[in-house]
């Protein structure tokens, strides 16, 4: 259904496009949005993340049917897997792709005995609904975001 490819610096323009197009499609672009400034800052942050060979962050291009369809950023540690960003182009949304990616991350975390965490903007009800449907619960909040934690990992140990 989908394939993840580790992003390179050559993908940064596409990754920024995905974020802008998805946010615009959701009607969540603030009135004072400066697209040029956003793209410059996004490119700088993303290039730094990619250039850190010891960093726990990995940015992926999501591909569907051999075509670029979205962006995924994951930060892995022993204790948790942070879903640090997922966006799909508007034409790729509501097809089960995001659900499958998140489900696969939940399985990875469960197999590792860790959990998945994320933050979601309060003005993004579609994403919040998706995460709740997949078993995430609000664990805290900031002024602009809900901090969420996925279901506890399943234990294969017999209880007794």
Residue 61 three-state SS: strand
What's the Cα-to-Cα distance from 145 to each of 101, 108, 139, rounded to whole Å?
A: 21, 25, 11
**What does the pLDDT read at residue 3?**
97
In angstroms, the CA 115 to CA 80 distance is 5
Label residue 155 by pLDDT band (50, 70, 90). Answer: low
- Domains of the chain, residue spans: 3-149
Average pLDDT over residues 142-159: 78
Label residue 159 by pLDDT band (50, 70, 90). Answer: very low
Structure tokens at 33: 């949005």
Average pLDDT over residues 105-126: 94
Cβ neighbours of residue 39 under 8 Å, at least 6 residues apart?
16, 20
In angstroms, the CA 108 to CA 157 distance is 17
**What does the pLDDT read at residue 158?**
47
For domain 3-149, give the CATH number. 3.40.630.30
**Which H or E run contains 102?**
helix 97-112
Residue 17 three-state SS: helix
Res 22 pLDDT > 80:
yes
Are the beta carbons of 59 and 4 closer than 8 angstroms? no
């Amino acid at each position: 259904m989908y394939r993840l490819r580790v992003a390179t610096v050559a993908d940064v323009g596409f990754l920024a496009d995905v974020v802008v197009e998805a946010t615009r499609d959701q009607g969540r672009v603030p009135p004072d949005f400066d697209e040029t400034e956003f793209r410059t800052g996004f490119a700088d942050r993303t290039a730094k993340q990619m250039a850190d060979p010891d960093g726990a962050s990995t940015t992926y291009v999501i591909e569907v049917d051999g075509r670029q369809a979205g962006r995924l950023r994951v930060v892995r540690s022993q204790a948790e897997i942070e879903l640090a960003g997922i966006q799909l182009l508007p034409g790729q949304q509501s097809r089960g792709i995001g659900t499958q990616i998140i489900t696969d991350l939940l399985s990875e975390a469960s197999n590792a005995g860790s959990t998945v965490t994320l933050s979601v903007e309060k003005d993004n009800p579609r994403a919040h609904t998706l995460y709740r449907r997949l078993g995430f619960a609000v664990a805290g909040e900031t002024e602009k975001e809900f901090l969420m934690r996925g279901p506890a990992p399943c234990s294969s140990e017999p209880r007794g």
